[in-house]
Structure formats: structure tokens, C-alpha cells
Amino acid sequence: EIPVQDFTTCDATQQMITKGRLDGVDTAFDRAANMKACPIGADSACCKHCFMGPCRLNAKDPYGKVGVCGATIDTIMARNFARMVASGAAAHTDHGMSMLDLFREVVNGKIKDYSIKDTQKLEAVAQSIGIETEGRSAKEIAVELYEALESTYTAVEGEIPFAKRVPPKTLETWRKHGVVPRGAMREIMEIMHRTHMGVDQDYTNITKQCSRTALADGWGGSMVATEISDILFGTPSPVSIEVNMGVLKEDQVNIIIHGHEPNLFESMIESVNEPTFIEAAKAAGAKGINLAGMCCSGAEVLVRHGIPHAGNFMSTEAVLITGAVDIMAVDVQCIKQGLVKVAECYGTPLITTNPRCRIEGATHIEFNDHEPKKSTDEIVIKAISRFKNRKAKVQIPQNVNIGVHGFSHEYINYMLGGSFRGSYRPLNDNIINGRIRGVAGVVGCTNPRVKQDHVHIELVKELIKNDVLVLQTGCSQIALAKAGLTTPEAAHLAGPGLREVCETVGMPPVLGLGSCVDNSRILIAASEMVRIGGLGDSIADLPVAGCAPEYMSEKAISIGHYFVASGVYTVFGVTFPIVQGTRFHKHLFEELETMGFGKWGFAIEPQEIARLMINHIDKKRQALGLDK
Ligand code: NFS
Ligand code: SF4
């Protein structure tokens, strides 16, 4: 039996895996240990795109063999990679589309339970794509904004609206290589067509469509998800939050929301605050109703409302082992089917809410934006009744950590420049004078193939020690919050330059921005750094780098590729679905950079990842003439 310390650095998760073992419950950690990853699939050296195959090539001798149709290893890997991009991009854009559907119905008055919360953001987003706002009502602006943003999905030709936000030189590179996206539906459709048997069989041409589709995610679907969520639910600003499993309360009705789309959670916040339900909970013997988030759903409301967060992706099964969860409601994405069995063991109702995601053995209570409370009220009632009839023994790890999160692009602007002259100028100045060496985005999942949180934490520590400011989203920021690095006090772990800046401004050296779709906030921040000047004229010139050190999802591949296509050096950990020493590998890891894009990198160990990222930042600093 593998010691739990090898599975995760998260103490609470360790305690729960240990308890699970005693209770006879296994988790993805155990399943990963018992299932060796398929070595051929791990290298992406197989193809099942037609039934003359499936075909299997030899990663040790990649050019020794071709598929039945004659497809080479480069074609096979590029096609597989393209389909990962397509799937990841589809997930983000479909999420964005749900937000846009909601926005449309709010604007035309058909939905009354939600409203436009942030009109300032509405105007700013409209202005950014050339919509006139002067002297117009919020409703008029919103109608026009909706119509413009719809083309993010549906445009059959031309360029998506947010291409207008891309720094001109970066956009020029995209145009030169023909990768400016049209609507996401078109790009995803085209990827699926081109990767069908017997169509695109030139890995460089397939990579182009990867870039175009990934950009339709980052500057399209994901960005729409972020911007519309801000308009409807409010733009985040820093708030002190509690993370870790200790946020559960033995004497309260505990409700966990896990998934991605913020509308479910927003409605749940309303439901749990209904006086009648609070009374009902008390009548059932509880002190109150306690709401917590997990994964990206949690990240959305953590930065907007300061709702506590119980843990990241690899803790979702573990949290159920506490026995204290009175209901877990999920919507879409990153929801392990394994949750059903664990939930069953502890008598926790697992509720699916989205028509896109039903799970065998879970109870479905459909969530509908037109009457959102209907579903969330029912979930609260069920939770109260589970509390009343709790049979499972409750054991809650007493781990609670504090973090300060919610650094939206808008807030960073304000924080650095002050209310009169909000600006990234001080950030650029501090990079130019060398107090800050560069900026790194550390994002993404946790994955049972590596020790949970370990790579995130050690990598970020190494980066800040070297005066690299770290921006974070998704599950990664929860790892760092649990390690106590997202507070202003963590500045003492930073190098002298970064430390001085953090202490002057009163900010943490590690800035949590939001969920994974909020990686679009990092794109906006990068564009703003270019616009302010002094750091080159394209995103590719900036001393920045990105990393998803413990990624597991296809969404991460799409995110990685849109950062690469936008000009950012992006390092992934765990494993990379490609055979080293092949031409496709060289294309992603070297040639894209010479074409004016960023490039991919790969390393497993945190020190090695940090070294790659810092070397890249230094290379860019030198090219800008910042260091002698
Ligand atoms: Ni991002 Fe969020 Fe977490 Fe990974 Fe999953 S919750 S969208 S994919 S696991 S960071
Ligand atoms: Fe094999 Fe070619 Fe069919 Fe793929 S498309 S399964 S390589 S024959």
C-alpha cells in the first residue's frame, strides 16, 4: 500500500484518504496507482480515427512505421493534439455560451432573477470592441454588446470581436499566418473535419488550425465567459477567504457546489440565505447552513463573494469521506464519475443540475436560468433532510487557511495606479528597473499522477524567490492558498525586489485571479503591459512565461495552446502527449517561436520548470535591453 504522503501534500486530503481506506472507499489516487498509464497513448503514438485501424506506432522508432492509410507519426500526433484542443476549446466556449444565453434573456427581460450588476464593466467591455456608450442606456449598450459577442461563436467569416483587444503586432503575426479566429463553432467544426481520416496530413497545417481554434477559446469563449460573468455577477476585487476542508462545519448543514458555471452558485447563495430555510435548518438541529465551493465553481464565487473553498480537483472525493457533506451539487466539467460511489458510501446526495451532464447513480435536479431558485431551493431542502438523518460518522480535518484573492485585471490596474490614474505603468516600471524580473502565470489542475499540490507550491516558491510575480487561476491557486502563499505576509518569501514592491502596495506575491476561464484575465493583463510600453510591442516580447504543472484536462491543452499562439512560453508538467525527437515536437517546442508565436515547454520537477521559465524571462529581458 502506497503511503498517503506520496499521494498529496494536502494534509486534509491525506487524512481523508486514510479514513477512506479504513471505510473501504477508494479514490482516484488509488485507481491511478493501480492503473499504469498506457505508454502508447501517453506518447500519442496511436490513431483510432478510422476502422482500417486502430493503428499503433512505435515511439522508440517513430519513423519506422506508418498507419494503414500511410499516416506518419507527425500526422497522428498532430491530429490527436488538435482534437484535444477542440474538446478543451468546446468546453470553455460552451460555458461562455451559457453565460451569453443568460445575458440575452436578462437583457430582453425574460429572466428576472439575475440582472446587470456591473454597468461600469458593461461599458468598458462595449467600448473595447468599438461600441458607442456615450449617452446611451445600459439596456441599449447591452443589446448591441450581446449581438456583437454572439459572433464569437457564430461568425462564419472575419475576425472575432475581441481580436480588437489584441496588441497590433501580435494580431499582425496572427494575420500573417492565417490564424485569426472566426466563430468558435466554425473553428471547432473545421478541426473535426480536418482531423478526419484522409484530410489534413501536414502537421504544420494542422497546428495552424490548433492555433486558430485555441485562440477562439482564449480570446473568444473563455473571455466572453469572464466578461459576461463580471457584468452579471460583479467584477472581483480582493477579498480575504478561507480554504481547505476545515471550512466544513460539523454542526451546520454543509452544501458543496462543484463544477464551473457561476449561475448555479449565484442562485444557491440566494437560496441558503432564505430565512425560511435557515429556520428549517435550525429546526433540524443545525446551527445554520454552510455553503462552500470546490474547483472552478468555487473559484468564481471565492473572488466575487468571499465564499469559502473546500479544495481543488483532487480533493473532491476526499471531501465526501468527511461524512459532513450534506449535499454536493455539480454542473459541468471535472466531475469524476467516482464521486457517485463515494457519495453513496456516506449517504451524501450527489446532484447533477445541467442537462449536459448527468451521471449514472446521481440524482438529477435540473437547473434552469428562467427559474433558478426552483432547483437550488430543492437542493437546500434535500441537504437539510440529509443533515437531520446523518448516519455517517463525521470527521472533519481541522485545516483552514486564509488567502486574499480576486485580483481582476481592473483591480490590478487600480491597485498599482491608484483611483485617479489606474494604470499598469508601475508594473512595467518595476519590470524595467528590475525589481520585478518578470511575470509568470501558474495555473491548472491537480493530477494523481504527481503528488497533489506539491509541484504548484514548490514551483511558485522558486519563482517568487527569484522576483517573478505570479498570477494564478483555477485549482492551482487553491494549492497556493492552502500553503499560505496568497497573503500579503507571504512577501517575506519573495526575492528582495518583488518583496519591496509587494510591501509598498500591500499585495501578495501570488495573485489569485479566478477560475480557469479567467485565464483570459491574464491575456488582458499581458496586452495592457504591451500597450503601456517599454516592454516591446507584442506579447511575445514580454518577459513572461506560463505553466500548468499538474494539468490533467483537455481544457488545459487548449489553454496552453492559446497562450503559445498569443506569444507566451508555456511549460506543462506531468506528461506531454508527444514523442520527443519528432518533427511535430520540434514544431511545437521550437519552430513556433521563430514564427513570432510563443512555444511549448515540458518538465516534471518544480525546480526544473522554474529554471526553464526564469531562463526564458531572462532571455526576453536581454532582448529588450533591460539587463546588461
Ligand atoms: Ni481548470 Fe476548473 Fe481544476 Fe483543472 Fe478542472 S476545475 S477549468 S480543468 S481540474 S483547473
Ligand atoms: Fe490507422 Fe490511418 Fe485509420 Fe488512423 S486514419 S486508424 S492511422 S488507417
pLDDT, one tens digit per residue, over 265-275 is: 999 999 999 99
Atom of ligand 2 nearest to the CA of 75: 7
Q: How far is the CA of 317 from the centre of ligand 1 (A)?
A: 15
Q: What is the mean pLDDT of residues 208-235?
A: 97
Whether 531 has a pLDDT exceeding 80, the answer reads yes
Instruction: Give the CA diameter of the chain.
Output: 72
Query: Per residue in 320-366, pLDDT tens?
Result: 999 999 999 999 999 999 999 999 999 999 999 999 999 999 999 99
Query: Per residue in 53-89, pLDDT tens?
Result: 999 999 999 999 999 999 999 999 999 999 999 999 9
Q: Which fold has domain 73-233?
A: Substrate Binding Domain Of Dnak; Chain:A; Domain 2 (1.20.1270)
pLDDT-derived band of residue 417, with 50, 70 and 90 as boundaries?
confident
**CATH code of the region 409-623:** 3.40.50.2030
Give the CA distances from residue 513 to residues 218, 386, 456, 516, 522, in Å, rounded to whole numbers and listed in that order. Answer: 15, 34, 16, 9, 8
Which conformational region is residue 625 in: left (phi greater than 0), alpha (psi within -120 to 50 degrees), or beta? Answer: left
What per-residue confidence (pLDDT) applies to 419?
Answer: 62
CA dist., res. 615 & res. 52, Å (int): 46
Q: Average pLDDT over the chain, rounded to whole? A: 96
Neighbours of 288 (CB within 10 A): 14
Q: How far is the CA of 76 from the centre of ligand 2 (A)?
A: 8
Atom of ligand 1 nearest to the CA of 555: 8
The 3-state DSSP class for residue 149 equals helix
Residues in CB range of 619: below 8 A, 6 or more apart: none
Helices (H), 322-466: 339-345, 372-388, 409-417, 425-432, 454-465
What per-residue confidence (pLDDT) applies to 272?
Answer: 96
Percent of the chain with pLDDT over 70: 99
In sequence order, the β-bridge partners of residue 514 are: 473
The complex's ipTM works out to 0.95
Closest Cα to atom 2 of ligand 2: 69
Query: Per residue in 174-192, pLDDT tens?
Result: 999 999 999 999 999 999 9
What per-residue confidence (pLDDT) applies to 1?
Answer: 83
Query: Per residue in 160-170, pLDDT tens?
Result: 999 999 999 99
Q: Which residue has the higher pLDDT, 218 or 422?
A: 218
Q: How far is the CA of 600 from the centre of ligand 2 (A)?
A: 26
Backbone angles phi, psi at 265, to 5 degrees: -65, -40
pLDDT-derived band of residue 423, with 50, 70 and 90 as boundaries?
confident
DSSP state of 439: E
Instruction: Tell me the three cell numbers of residue 324.
Output: 459532513
CA dist., res. 127 & res. 122, Å (int): 9
Q: How far is the CA of 259 from the centre of ligand 1 (A)?
A: 9
Q: Which residue has the higher pLDDT, 392 or 209?
A: 209
pLDDT-derived band of residue 439, with 50, 70 and 90 as boundaries?
very high
Closest Cα to atom 6 of ligand 2: 53
What per-residue confidence (pLDDT) applies to 627?
Answer: 86
Helices (H), 513-578: 519-532, 554-566
What per-residue confidence (pLDDT) applies to 413?
Answer: 87
Q: What is the mean pLDDT of residues 150-157?
A: 96
Q: How far is the CA of 282 from the centre of ligand 1 (A)?
A: 35
| Candidate of 51, 55, 201 to mutate for ligand 2, largest count of ligand atoms within 8 Å of Cβ | 55
Q: What is the mean pLDDT of residues 563-583?
A: 97
What is the sign, positive or negative, of the torsion defined by CA atoms of 527, 530, 533, 537? Answer: negative
| CB 596, CB 178: distance < 8 Å | no
Q: How far is the CA of 88 from the centre of ligand 1 (A)?
A: 11
Whether the upstream peptide bond of residue 62 has omega within 30° of 0, thus cis, is no
What per-residue confidence (pLDDT) applies to 415?
Answer: 87
Same fold, 73-233 and 245-388: no
**CATH code of the region 245-388:** 3.40.50.2030
| Candidate of 92, 555, 574 to mutate for ligand 1, largest count of ligand atoms within 8 Å of Cβ | 555
pLDDT-derived band of residue 420, with 50, 70 and 90 as boundaries?
low
Give the CA distances from residue 22 to residues 319, 348, 349, 394, 593, in Å, rounded to whole numbers and listed in that order. Answer: 15, 18, 22, 14, 52
What is the sign, positive or negative, of the torsion defined by CA atoms of 257, 260, 263, 264? Answer: negative
Query: Per residue in 241-267, pLDDT tens?
Result: 999 999 999 999 999 999 999 999 999
pLDDT-derived band of residue 392, with 50, 70 and 90 as boundaries?
confident
Whether 498 has a pLDDT exceeding 90, the answer reads yes
All structural domains of the chain with their residue ranges:
73-233, 245-388, 409-623
Grid cell 483591480 is found at 411
> Ligand 2 — pocket residues by CB below 6 A?
47-50, 52-55, 67-69, 71, 76, 197
Ligand closest to the CA atom of residue 199: 2
Whether 172 has a pLDDT exceeding 70, the answer reads yes
| CB 218, CB 184: distance < 8 Å | no
What is the sign, positive or negative, of the torsion defined by CA atoms of 349, 350, 356, 358? Answer: negative
